[in-house]
Amino acid sequence: MNVVADTLVGTLGIATPLLFATLGGVVSERSGVINLGLESYLLAGAFGAAAGTLAAGSLLVGVGVGLLAAGAVALAHGILATRTRADHVVTGVALNLLVDAATIAALVSLYGTKGSSPLFSDGLVEALGASKVLGLSPLTWLSLVAIPLVVVALARTKAGLRLRAVGENPRCAESLGVSAARVRLLSVVTAGLITGLGGVFLAFDVGSFSKHMAGGRGYLALACVVIGKWRPRWAAAAAIGFAFLKALANQLQTAARIPDEIPRMLPYVITLVVLSGIVGRARPPAALGKPLA
């Protein structure tokens, strides 16, 4: 019984950053911007959250700085993706390497360490504990609420229609007076803010920032986007599904001695299978990765 409860709580905890990044990925990709930069948004969000919290002694400031940092990285990414003809894949990966290195450099200059920031003070850790609702971080609840929000925003709002239109055929959108560049830029920044929340969660979960903290979740989120065929609800389901497998593996690991690599490998194997077209056809947005002329 305890194992089941632990697995479920564990699932939602593991799912939180992945969910945010996945939803961010959907928003970005549906507007036509391939987003390999999710990892960098997570890192920036986590670092900003830790640094802001430590500097101001306030969790709220931490959230604000985390969002600001992730938003700034996404803004840079968005400008590259809309104002230049730069390849989306290359810019995304480059941004990941850059931000990863930048957070380490900042760790050195701010805290004089290469590994991780100091831990939050006991008061802050207590406050984090006190903020939990039904044993889960408010951010976890927010990540769950964000699923229907993104679904509705894409399908039932004016901005959502324009975003989808630009992802399919930016020239058509332009001809109707919709600025494709602005829509894509806003989409990427929105993706940055959503994903940034995932980064904030990572820092708050541990109570500090440590290097490489995103740990490949950005890439995993992109796999979820593909497996979910670019639809927010299925992508979110994929994210939760992988989180569940991971939580299960954590529970069983000691008993069954499953090598950790197996569950970690699984998402990418499934992604390959989906992309190969064996299980139904995944049809990405028609203008995905195509620079604006």
Partner 1 sequence: MSAGVGQLSDGVGRGSDGLGVRGLTKRFGETTVLDAVDFSVAPGEVVALIGENGAGKTTLLRVVSGFYRPDGGEVLVDGKPTVLRGPRDAAAIGVGMVHQHFLLIPELTVAENVVLGREPGSGPLLDLRAAEAEVRACAERFGLDVDPRARVGDLGVSAQQRVELLKVLVRGARFLLLDEPTGLLPPSGVRELFALVERLAAEGCGVVLVTHRLREVFAVSQRATVLRHGVVTGEREIAASDERELARLMIGEDLDLDERQPSQTAADAVEVLQVERLSVAGRGERPAVDDVSLSVRAGEVVGIAGVSGSGQIELLEAVSGVRPIVSGRVRIGERVLDGDGIRARRAAGLGYVPEDRLHDGLVADLTVAENLVLCADPERGFFERGWIVRERVESEGREVVADHDVRPPDPDALCGALSGGNQQKVLVARELRGAPRVLLAAEPVRGLDFRATDAVHRRLRAICDGGGGVLLVSTDLVELLEHCDRILVMFAGGIAGEVRPDETSEDAIGLLMSGGGSAAVGDSRG
* Buried-state track 116-145, b at ≥16 Cβ within 10 A, e below 16: ebeebeeebeebbeeeeeeeebebbebbbe
Closer CB to partner 1, 101 or 155, in the complex? 155
User: Is residue 277 exposed (0-12), middle (13-18) or buried (19+ Cβ within 10 Å)?
Assistant: exposed
Closer CB to partner 1, 177 or 280, in the complex? 177
Task: State the nearest-atom distance from the C-beta of 287 to partner 1, in Å.
Answer: 10
Task: State the nearest-atom distance from the C-beta of 32 to partner 1, in Å.
Answer: 12
Task: State the nearest-atom distance from the C-beta of 182 to partner 1, in Å.
Answer: 12
Task: Provide the token pair at 240.
Answer: 């939760």
- Report the distance separating Cα 106 and Cα 113, nearest Å: 9
Task: State the nearest-atom distance from the C-beta of 229 to partner 1, in Å.
Answer: 12
Report the candidate in 230, 225, 204 with the shortest Cα–Cα distance to residue 62. 204
Closer CB to partner 1, 63 or 183, in the complex? 183
Task: State the nearest-atom distance from the C-beta of 190 to partner 1, in Å.
Answer: 13
Backbone angles phi, psi at 179, to 5 degrees: -80, 110
Task: State the nearest-atom distance from the C-beta of 164 to partner 1, in Å.
Answer: 7
- Report the distance separating Cα 185 and Cα 75, nearest Å: 7
Closer CB to partner 1, 24 or 160, in the complex? 160
Helix/strand/coil (H/E/C) assignment for every residue in 135-156: CECHHHHHHHHHHHHHHHHHHH
- Tell me 57's DSSP state: S
- Report the distance separating Cα 33 and Cα 144, nearest Å: 24
Interacting residues toward partner 1 by CB under 8 A: 156-162, 164-165, 168-169, 171-178, 285-286
Closer CB to partner 1, 23 or 165, in the complex? 165
Closer CB to partner 1, 58 or 169, in the complex? 169
